[in-house]
Amino acid sequence: MSMVRVFSEYERDFVEQADVAVVGSGPGGALLAKELSCAGHDVILLEEGPPFTPADFELDGGLSMARTLREGGLRTTRGYVMPTMQAIALGGGSLVNSAICVRAPASTLEDWCGEFELEHTSRADLDPHYEAVEKFLGIAPTPDDVLGDRNLLFRKACDALGYSSEPIARNVRGCRGSGECFTGCRARAKQSMDISYVPAMVKAGGRVLTSVQVQQVLAQGRRATAVTGRVVRPFSGEPSHSFRVDARVIVLAAGVMATPVILSQSGDLANHSQQVGRNLQFHPGVAVAGIFPERTNPQFGATQGYHSLAFIPEGFKLETLWAPPALLAVRLPGFAQALKQRLAEIPYAAIWDAIASCNRSLGHVRARRGTMDPVITWHFHPDDVLILRRALWILARLFFAAGARKILPGVHGQPPEMHSLEEARVLADSELRAIDLVCGGNHVFSTTRMHGDPGRGVVGEDGRCHDLDNLYIADTGILPQSPSVNPMHTCMALAHRIAGHIAEAL
Amino acid sequence: MGIWLLAALLLLWIGLRVFGGYRPLPPAVVTLTRREYAFVAAAADATFPRGGPIEPSGCDAGVPRYVDRYLAVVPARMRRLMRLLFFLLEHAPLFFPPGGPSGLRRFSKLSPSAQVAYLEGWQRSRFFPRRLVFTSLRSILTLGYLSDPEVQQALSLTPQEIDTPICEADGLWPRIGESRA
């Protein structure tokens, strides 16, 4: 039997046994499964989505989202309404993200330790784990030859204003700057989990079940005994055969939205603290388009190749951005001929964005009745809106410092185009409401947060659920709050550490 | 009796004017209904009128066919929401008339200038949910418009040819929907 089973290979209900069952093949789950397989344990990795080959990638933005993202890429929050994207594919979000790998700042981790009663989660504690991940995935700063004009203009702008900036470190090998990170890397430069940790896990003897939706964790007393669920058809989600995987250790790495839903559907498992599904945080992001006098050829270059961490103390991070133009165009203002005029300016455009650490803006996740889909509710705290207002102003300054002839800030109630810094000053001075922004809900955290106090968190620093002896969580849900930067690297570092704890426990 | 008959005829007339008289679907349209197709076609041309810096109109660029295909691949719940969106915008001119001599008409029967005025009303509304509805529609139409090869060529956004190198994952799984060799 093949080590990676796909939908067409399930012919009947089945039961499997393993030392460890890992639910979810995103960065946390795939890494952990590989580490434990290489340590000699019998591991089964379960993934709800299908595995993609490069021939399966759809270059069209909308169709790509429909195939690789949950709810067809149309998932939104309630409360404050914004889109949020979670992947459903072997490799999880790593298949369609920009491969950004940034270590969390030491100051942020210090804050975590103080506020969440953590004793072993300082930067010094995590650095060996970050290093292990970097070595395996070849994480390195984006080289100049694949930056392209969009990224180089950002560097020029930061230099002009004296803001520190740097090429983004990414898990890529041999990037050609094709700018296709969000639809799947046809050049196979991006070391997404499906072509990095998963093959390594399989090589070490691990087994992978794709197109299986875990719906419940079974437990007896303080021990989780198995996961159960249904085989689901790729894309439609139509259920077919039932399955059960018995395991000595179970790891949930299904993601910030799915993990709490599984726990909830398992009889409110691991929820003595009443924190499962709560404390939901995002990195809400805004993007500004700048139009330059010369062509920027924006389709060339690393999707997100440059960033500035200069404003982390103020709560936001600046970075360059590229995505399928149809998705970026959603942010362009206008209609009819005015919209066409702006579309025609795409070859002259650069798009830069800001993501904010909004620790005051919280939400929660619960299961939609009768489904495994989450209902996501999140509220934007007015003080956190001010962070993004400040970020918009800084982005405006950067664009004009780089020589943009106009910017499109995408803020309701403000001029759709601003032609000078003086015009843009309104971004800094206006009364901005959350509903005036076109925000995206990037990066999600904390719905099964790590906390030293079992009464206030779901897992401890070893990733083990406080309420059970052998149930672990290894996705960004365990981050107690925003890591201030893109979370994938920190998620993988924590998963690497958790793998060590599990190996000791087995 | 006469009043009731008159009222019934009036209702029938309103019903036909609002809900009836849609043209048959073009061949190969499989997901959109006649009403939805008429709405999407009208909205596509209002959002992307012919001419200007990019020549093709929304219908020239095949937006209705794209939406038909897109609707088929999104999950059922999202499909229902999108259908609701189309229905709402098609018939909401009754409640948010675009101004001018539009009469009691659905969106797809408005004049092109009234269609533009009507959608601009949604875009500029101070009421956030109305703006959200507009943004959702425009996003769907824009996905379709920018998927057209002629539009992509006009914007220098034609996808690059990329050769895919061999890697360790090759052979671990087949293409989606295919059997293992």
The alpha carbon of residue B44 is apart from the nearest alpha carbon of chain A, in Å, by 9
Domain map (residue ranges) of chain B: 30-154
Q: B residues 85-144 near A, CB within 8 Å?
A: 116, 119-120, 123, 128, 131-132, 135, 138-140, 142-144
Domain map (residue ranges) of chain A: 4-69+85-99+102-138+204-279+446-505, 143-170+281-361+381-438
Task: Give the mean model confidence (pLDDT) for residues A459-480.
Answer: 98
- The residues that bridge with A465 in the sheet, in sequence order, are A459
Phi, psi of A375 (to 5 degrees): -100, 120
Q: Is B173 in Cβ contact with A53 (below 8 Å)?
A: yes
- A346-355, A431-440, A487-496: least confidently modelled range: A431-440
Q: What is the pLDDT of residue A1?
A: 60
Helix (H, G, I), strand (E, B) or coil at A212: strand
Q: A residues 415-444 near B, CB within 8 Å?
A: 435, 438
Distances (CA, A) of A155 to A144, A151, A318: 11, 6, 11
A173-226: per-residue pLDDT in tens? 999 999 999 999 999 999 999 999 999 999 999 999 999 999 999 999 999 999
Q: Is A203 in Cβ contact with B145 (below 8 Å)?
A: no
Closest Cβ–Cβ partner in B48, B70, B157 for A346: B157
Contacts of A162 (CB under 8 A, 6+ apart): none
> Cα–Cα distance between A494 and B2 in angstroms, integer?
79
Phi, psi of A355 (to 5 degrees): -115, 140
What proportion of chain A, given as a percentage, has pLDDT over 70?
100
A231-273: per-residue pLDDT in tens? 999 999 999 999 999 999 999 999 999 999 999 999 999 999 9
Q: Is the pLDDT of residue B100 over 70?
A: no
B chain contacts of residue A234, beta-carbon cutoff 8 Å? 176-177
Q: If you write DSSP's letter for every residue of A105-138 in order, what string do you get?
A: PHHHHHHHHHHTT-SS-SHHHHHHHHHHHHHHHT
Q: Is the pLDDT of residue A280 over 80?
A: yes
> Cα–Cα distance between A447 and A476 in angstroms, integer?
8
Helix (H, G, I), strand (E, B) or coil at A208: strand
B33-62: per-residue pLDDT in tens? 999 999 999 999 999 999 999 999 999 999
DSSP one-letter code for A282: E
A44-93: per-residue pLDDT in tens? 999 999 999 999 999 998 999 999 999 999 999 999 999 999 999 999 99
Q: B91 burial class (0-12, 13-18, 19+ CB within 10 angstroms)? A: middle
Q: What is the pLDDT of residue A430?
A: 87
Work out the mean pLDDT of chain B and round it to a whole number.
90
Q: Strand A43-46 relative to strand A169-170: parallel, antiparallel, unpaired? A: unpaired
A121-165: per-residue pLDDT in tens? 999 999 999 999 999 999 999 999 999 999 999 999 999 999 999
Q: What is the pLDDT of residue A15?
A: 98
Closest residue in chain B to residue A345, using alpha carbons only: B155
Residue type at A62?
G
A325-342: per-residue pLDDT in tens? 888 888 788 889 999 999
Q: What is the pLDDT of residue B142?
A: 95
Q: Is the pLDDT of residue A318 over 80?
A: yes
A230-241: per-residue pLDDT in tens? 999 999 999 999
A chain contacts of residue B167, beta-carbon cutoff 8 Å? 188, 195, 199
Q: What is the pLDDT of residue B102?
A: 61
Q: Which alpha helices (H) appear in A162-273, and where do they start and end?
A: 197-203, 258-265
- The residues that bridge with A355 in the sheet, in sequence order, are A285, A317
Q: Sorting pLDDT into bands at 50, 70 and 90, what band is B101?
A: low
Structure tokens that stand for A416 in this block: 């759709």
Structure tokens that stand for B92 in this block: 């909401």
How many alpha carbons lie under 13 Å from residue A146 in its C-beta half-sphere? Answer: 21
- Could you tell me if A100 and A304 are in contact, meaning their C-beta atoms sit under 8 angstroms apart? yes
Q: Sorting pLDDT into bands at 50, 70 and 90, what band is B103?
A: low
Q: What is the pLDDT of residue A356?
A: 97
A chain contacts of residue B75, beta-carbon cutoff 8 Å? 71-72, 236-237
CATH number of A4-69+85-99+102-138+204-279+446-505: 3.50.50.60
CATH number of A143-170+281-361+381-438: 3.30.410
The alpha carbon of residue B37 is apart from the nearest alpha carbon of chain A, in Å, by 19
> Cα–Cα distance between A289 and A298 in angstroms, integer?
11
A431-461: per-residue pLDDT in tens? 889 999 989 999 999 999 999 999 999 999 9
Helix (H, G, I), strand (E, B) or coil at A67: helix
